Amino acid sequence: MDTQALKALIDLFGRAPLRELEISEGGQTVKITRAKQVQAFVPPASPLPAAAPAAATTPPSPTEEAEVSSTKELLITAPMYGTLHLSPAPDAPPFVAVGDTLHAGQQVGLIEAMKVFTPIKTEISGRVEAILVPDGSEVEAHQPLIRLS
């Protein structure tokens, strides 16, 4: 079993509600188990203090909201570990290009892991400002792929 397939298995296992996974391939067996979580009880050293009264807050002004929203980056991230494909086939045009306007739900690429292709769809709308990862690159889960404006 190659390293890429093993990493993809570990990533999938991390997101699944499984305690154990065992896979055999070509005479090799890989067994992945989730460690049992032990929570120790530590009694408080002193009684808990009374909660402080909540401070009064004022809503942000429109200019403050504009500054906050303008500094937030809109990123499309990888849903999982795998190989990024920016087009549906090697000879086909890419799903998106810099300058394109995207709408929520639009497919922007594919992630290949263990010969399974998973579509990457955007949950946000915006204009493609930059494609951060080259086609055919290995990507990690939650790695930024495309920046929108």
**pLDDT tens digits, 92-115:** 999 999 999 999 999 999 999 988
Q: What percentage of the chain has pLDDT greater than the value 90? A: 45
- The alpha carbon of residue 8 and the mean position of all alpha carbons in its chain are separated, in whole angstroms, by 14
- Residue in the block written with tokens 């404006």: 149
Q: What whole-number distance in Å separates Cα of residue 16 and Cα of residue 55?
A: 41
Q: Are 82 and 113 in contact (CB under 8 A)?
A: yes
**pLDDT tens digits, 27-85:** 878 777 776 554 555 555 555 555 555 555 555 555 444 444 444 678 999 999 999 99
How deeply is 88 buried, as exposed, middle or buried, from its count of CB atoms within 10 A (0-12, 13-18, 19+)? Answer: middle
Q: What whole-number distance in Å separates Cα of residue 117 and Cα of residue 10?
A: 17
- pTM of the complete model: 0.54
**pLDDT tens digits, 1-33:** 677 777 777 777 777 777 777 777 778 787 777
Q: What whole-number distance in Å separates Cα of residue 2 and Cα of residue 48?
A: 53
Helix H or strand E segment including 112: strand 107-113
From the list 143, 109, 146, the residue with the least C-alpha distance to 130 is: 146
